[in-house]
Structures are given as structure tokens and as C-alpha cells.
Amino acid sequence: MSTRFTIDGSAALEQHLAETCALVRAGVERIIPTQLLEGLALAGGYGRGEGGVRHENGQDLPYNDLEFFVFVRGSTYINDHRFKAALHTLGESLSPAAGLDVEFKILSISRLRRSAVNMFYYDLVMGHRWLIGSDKLLVGCEHHREATHIPLHEATRLLFNRCSGLLFASERLAKNDFNNADADYVGRNLAKAQLALGDVVLAMSGRYHWSCLERHRRLLDLAGVDPTLLAHHAAGVAFKLRPSRSAKTHAELNQEHSALSDLSRQIFLQLESRRLKTRLSTPDDYISCRTNKCPEVPLWKNVLIHLRTRGLPPSITRYPREHLLHELVTMLWTERATDLTSIQQYAALWNRYN
């Protein structure tokens, strides 16, 4: 792995991130007893050496979140109850000086070893930076290193999240008092969608890779890829590495949003047709299809979620994300009227089941 946090950030930025990581380590060691703390790893773009760098006022600044995995022996459920609040407080205390959000996720090495392959754990195992521990801890996690084993429902989840970003961006674009902050929000979500569309195509072909630069090289080599998709992916990679505030007008952002929504609809239907093994040519085909959209989630978990949570859709045997998928398709890709309340209700459930 790279010894840097970024590809081309300044020495001052690299030093700032290293000092932040030192503060994180000290804080975690104060919270987690030594006998329980297995390891501490920085994941995400900075852990992979591809963290975002925003250039403002003559200096390089951090952009992406700092995402830390705290590996704690024992039950992750119990450890969440014991340490999650304290780690959240630590993150909030360090975030202002860090200049970006500091976030923690509690996990155990034993749970990682026995977990099924997914895109999240693949990225973690393949690209990280140890603050405590070493790759010796990952013995037994070799199954997470195989990108070809990432299931298609992971590509669906990625596209679901990024298309949700397009939906939230459409809410901003509809404002009468659209301002610079709205433009920055919309531009950021458009860039995330641009990157994700190419990543989903790679995942569908078994060619996904943890590095965004390598993913773009693989996309260029993939036969039959639409040049428009390649251009979008290149723009998404560029934004991920060197994000900047959007200088585009409302009309330009609106036009780009429309084009990306159309392209995402095409790729979504292709992906879901393949994943669900049924032909889905239109958004209405998808909505009316009664096939279980989340077959990877066991029945007992669906029932338990519905019994414990009020306000969910009535299908007690179906995972709530299926309802959200239908709502997303309806609001983003059909002509049916969508109001602000519907998007807000969707966002509340999305934050829980994304």
C-alpha cells in the first residue's frame, strides 16, 4: 500500500493527516481497553492513498471523511453498546481541527473472517492503513480479496445509494432560491453518480478494483463501453481525487442531472434484469415485478425488523430496501408527481437502510 494519504497532496496536508491519525490513535487507546483492542485501521480514500485534495487559497485541504475501523475482540453488538457513543464523541471532538468528519466503525477480526464477501469489506481488506496492528490480523480474510466474488446485489446497493443522491439533488435543483451551497451539493452528488455508473459496469463484469485509477483503466479496456459513460467516469475520478466547488450554473447542473438520471436508469435496469433474472425494460416493469428484490436478506431478519420498527411498509417478509428501491424508481424515473414530503420520508428510511 501507499505510504501517502493522497496521490499528489502537499507535504503540509500529508503531515496534517498524519497528526490527525496520531490523535485518533491516542483517543481510541483511551476508550478501548488494551486487552480488547485488536487493531485500528484507516479505510476509505485516505487509507488507500487516494484521498481527496481540495485546493483553496493557495493550499491543499482535506475533503473526504476519515473512516476508521476499530477492531475489538468479542461481540460487535455488545462492543457497539459499550464504545460507540464514546467513539462518536471522539470523532466530533477531532473533526473541527481535522477539517473533515472523523468517523468510526466497530468490528472484530473474527466477524470479518466469517462475513460474506461484499464491496465494502473488499475495499477495506485491499486498501487500508494500519495505525495499530498489521496485515497479520487479516489471515483468514482471503475471501474478501476476490473482486470476482462480489455479488451483484452489492452493485445494486451502490447504484441505489448514488441514485438516491441524484434524487436528493433534484430536490435542491427545484428550489426557487438556489444558491452556491446548493450548487456545491448538486455538483458533489453528480460526481459521485458519474463514478458509480462506471464502477457498477465493472462490478457486473467481475472487473471491479479497489483503486479508482485502476478502475478507470479497466473500464477503458472493457469492450463495448459507451464513450459517454467513459467520459462520466473520468470526471468522477477527477472529482474524487481533486474535488472542487461547482462553478456551473443552475441550467448546466440541471442539464447534467437529466443526462445522468437517464443513463443511470439504463444501467439500473440492465443490472436488475441480470441480477433478478427477468427482463425489465422500463421503470414500470421494475415496480410491478413481484420478484423479491433483496433475496440475500434472510426471512427471519425481515420479520424481526418489521416487528421492531414502526412505520415500515406492510410486506413483513420483505426487506425495507425493496420498498425504497420501488420508491426511488418511481420518483426518479417515472412521470408521477413527487413532492417534498415524499422525498423527505424516503430520505428518513434511506438513512436507516442504505
Structural domain ending residue among the three candidates 146, 164, 184: 146
Is residue 185 domain-shared with residue 125, that is, in the same domain?
Answer: no
The band of 192, judged by pLDDT with boundaries at 50, 70 and 90, is: very high
Is residue 212 domain-shared with residue 327, that is, in the same domain?
Answer: yes
Is residue 138 domain-shared with residue 186, that is, in the same domain?
Answer: no
Over residues 106-163, the pLDDT tens digits come to: 999 999 999 999 999 999 999 999 999 999 999 999 999 999 999 999 999 999 999 9
Q: Which domain holds residue 321?
A: 151-353
249 pLDDT more than 70:
yes
The band of 2, judged by pLDDT with boundaries at 50, 70 and 90, is: low
How far is 144 from 323, CA to CA, in rounded Å? 29
Q: What is the pLDDT of residue 352?
A: 82
The band of 313, judged by pLDDT with boundaries at 50, 70 and 90, is: confident
Strand pairing category for 102-107 and 66-72:
parallel
Is residue 289 domain-shared with residue 223, that is, in the same domain?
Answer: yes
> For the ranges 95-104, 170-179, 266-275, 301-310, which has the lowest average pLDDT?
301-310
236 pLDDT more than 70:
yes
The band of 23, judged by pLDDT with boundaries at 50, 70 and 90, is: very high
| Residue 4, in any domain of the structure | no
The band of 306, judged by pLDDT with boundaries at 50, 70 and 90, is: confident
Is residue 190 domain-shared with residue 228, that is, in the same domain?
Answer: yes
Q: What is the mean pLDDT of the chain?
A: 95
Q: What is the pLDDT of residue 134?
A: 97
| Residue 5, in any domain of the structure | no
Cα dihedral 181/185/190/192 (nearest 10): 140
| Residue 299, in any domain of the structure | yes
Domain total for the chain?
2
Over residues 77-117, the pLDDT tens digits come to: 999 999 999 999 999 999 999 999 999 999 999 999 999 99
Q: What is the pLDDT of residue 336?
A: 82
276-308 b/e (C-beta count within 10 Å ≥ 16 → b): beeebeebeebeebeebbbeebeeeebeebbee
| Residue 1, in any domain of the structure | no
Cα dihedral 331/332/335/337 (nearest 10): 30
Is residue 128 domain-shared with residue 173, that is, in the same domain?
Answer: no
Structural domain ending residue among the three candidates 146, 178, 200: 146
How far is 285 from 39, CA to CA, in rounded Å? 47
Is residue 267 domain-shared with residue 122, that is, in the same domain?
Answer: no
Is residue 288 domain-shared with residue 217, that is, in the same domain?
Answer: yes
Structural domain ending residue among the three candidates 113, 146, 179: 146
Q: What is the pLDDT of residue 41?
A: 98
Q: Is 223 helix (H, G, I), strand (E, B) or coil?
A: coil
Helices (H), the chain: 11-31, 44-47, 76-98, 109-114, 119-126, 152-173, 180-204, 212-221, 227-241, 250-276, 283-288, 299-308, 320-333, 340-353
Q: What is the pLDDT of residue 1?
A: 60
Q: Are 233 and 194 in contact (CB under 8 A)?
A: yes
Is residue 142 domain-shared with residue 157, that is, in the same domain?
Answer: no
| Residue 6, in any domain of the structure | no
pLDDT (mean) for 170-198? 96
| Residue 3, in any domain of the structure | no
Is residue 134 domain-shared with residue 229, that is, in the same domain?
Answer: no
pLDDT (mean) for 197-214? 97
Q: Is 61 helix (H, G, I), strand (E, B) or coil?
A: strand
Over residues 39-48, the pLDDT tens digits come to: 999 999 999 9
Nearest to 66 by CA among 32, 34, 33, 22: 22
Is residue 131 domain-shared with residue 170, that is, in the same domain?
Answer: no
| Residue 2, in any domain of the structure | no
Is residue 302 domain-shared with residue 156, that is, in the same domain?
Answer: yes
Record the pTM: 0.93
DSSP track, 66-111: EEEEEEESS-HHHHHHHHHHHHHHHHHHHHHHHTS-EEEEEE-HHH
Q: What is the pLDDT of residue 335?
A: 86
Q: Are 236 and 194 in contact (CB under 8 A)?
A: yes
Q: What is the CATH number of the domain that holds 44?
A: 3.30.460.10
pLDDT (mean) for 158-183? 96
Q: Is 280 helix (H, G, I), strand (E, B) or coil?
A: coil
CA distance to 40, 111, 141, per residue, from 73 (Å): 12, 9, 16
